[in-house]
Amino acid sequence: MDEMEEELKCPVCGSFFREPLILPCSHNLCQACARNILVQTPEAESPQSRRASGSADYDYLDLDKMSLYSEADSGYGSYGGFASAPTTPCQKSPNGVRVFPPAVPPPPHLPPAAAAASALAPVPRNSCLTCPLCHRSLILDERGLRGFPKNRVLEGVIDRYQQSKAAALRCQLCEKAPKEATVMCEQCDVFYCDPCRLRCHPPRGPLAKHRLLPPAQGRVSRRLSPRKISTCTDHELENHSMYCVQCKSPVCYQCLEEGKHASHEVKALGAMWKLHKVVRDQISHCTVKLRQTTGLMEYCLEVIKENDPSGFLQISDALIRRVHVTEDQWGKGTLSPRMTTDFDLNLDSAPLLQSIHQLDFVQMKVAWFSFDPGTAHSDIIFSNDNLTVTCNSYDDRVVLGKTGFSKGLHYWELSIDRYDNHPDPAFGVARVDVLKDVMLGKDDKAWAMYVDNNRSWFMHNNSHTNRTEGGITKGATVGVLLDLTRRTLTFSINEDQQGPVAFENLEGVFFPAVSLNRNVQVTLHTGLPVPDFYHSRGTMQ
């Protein structure tokens, strides 16, 4: 019922309707808000005076053809078209709809009795009301706002909706008379009361790492949980990473190496997605329209439940008109295509080739080491004499180097052999007892830089700092420079320093470390010279 909430809020104040009135255009307004946006028209321009004078050269009810809607931006303006009427500037309501402010602001701090009397006071003669949704202008007769019927059905729907939102979330494991839930486990996706949590979800073993949320936050988290990543139909364990131009379908890297797409022209999936921004705009437009339509449908279903015949018949025609208008809007352009499916895309491979040519493997009299299968997570996959690693899990897993350092200057690099779907691998150093099933830097045993295709961050003990522009792609090189003489840790991407000095005051024994998932494969290179940017910094210091 969340989509229906927009139907239950006043377009002027942005809050749930209070004493809603039904306008002839089928829209609703709070009675107080309707009074606030009334504008008094000159006596000489009233319908009665024009009929008395025999002049009827225009329909006064069709004010949207006059200067009231002469503003160029959205049809809202001021009543400057009437010679004796003062100009009334327009403003925006909390939900973005432009409305006219009251001609005379109400006195502040009115007592309840006085406020009620003010709301029921007669409106000035010759008042005009403009619907903030459809911009239709309405001239009030001698009855004023009392001429508009009250929407009792809408008030009943709002009461039921607010009661349902206020209802407490209940435990899903209680056998009889479920108790009020106190937590929701994000991993189990279950609401627990305290006794059931202690009995069925004890804070020990594997369950100790589960994240428990307050019930209200858990409901939001459940509603906003991300969708699963699309995988290849031919290789179920692989994500789509490229786009086959000939077949016009996404493919994975195994399709390009051994499948039917090996000889086809392919283009980067991410670049193709960005190219079609107009498609995303149309999808966004349809999503908003779909949400509004769904809200209207849910509201109509609630109205059908109403057991007040007179109240239902009072608004049924208005609802039928709104449904017809919404149906016409969908048919007239919401779903019409706005672009052709034929396109062309040129990729500039020069930066990638330059990065590959810059890779330099120079042997120095420094430590040579490889990754350590003995201390790595079981999901890590080793090859190339334990110099190349990837992972068979979509979650981040940690692998350490075989050699620990407690003094001296050490520099190693990791080349990115495979990089699909823009993950964020992490590189750095760690203690030997670092957590192996989370991203590097999540606990206090690791100091790392994690990086995606656009930017990087430093992380230690789950604290994220120093966001820096510049990311990685396939073929890029990440450098890690551990200077235990100065007790610092510095990172580079493609031989350029990435951000400031990442960490200082390092003491103890540190092991080279990486965390990655199945979308990344890296190869370790050791015995390398210290990069030029570090020599330059040492000279300046």
Query: C-alpha 299: how far from its chain's center?
Result: 26
Q: Give the per-residue pLDDT at 393.
A: 92
pLDDT, position 464: 92
Q: What angle do CA 396, 400, 405 make, to 5 degrees?
A: 140
pLDDT at 60: 35
- Give the residue among 262, 508, 491, 495 at the shortest CA–CA distance from 360: 495
pLDDT, tens only, 469-500: 999 999 999 999 999 989 999 999 998 999 99
Give CA angle at 253 (248, 259), nearest 5°: 70
Beta-carbon contacts of residue 102 (< 8 Å; ≥ 6 apart): 35, 36, 37, 38
The number of beta carbons lying within 10 Å of the beta carbon of residue 96 is: 8
| Helices (H), ranges, 132-266 | 152-166, 194-200, 215-223, 253-258
DSSP 90-143: -EE-TTS-EEPPPSSPPPSS--HHHHHHHHHSPPPTTEEEE-TTT--EEE--TT
8 Å CB contact between 189 and 213: no
> Torsion angle, CA of 247/252/256/260, rounded to 10 degrees?
-50
Structure tokens at 76: 């809202």
Residues of the chain with pLDDT under 70: 1-3, 40-126, 165-168, 218-231, 233, 259, 273-282, 331-366, 535-541
Q: How many residues does the chain have?
A: 541
Report d(CA 417, CA 491) in Å as an integer. 19
Distance CA 440, CA 448 (A): 6
- Regarding pTM above 0.75, the answer is no
pLDDT at 145: 86
Other beta carbons within 10 Å of 393: 15
Helix, strand or coil, per DSSP, at residue 154: helix
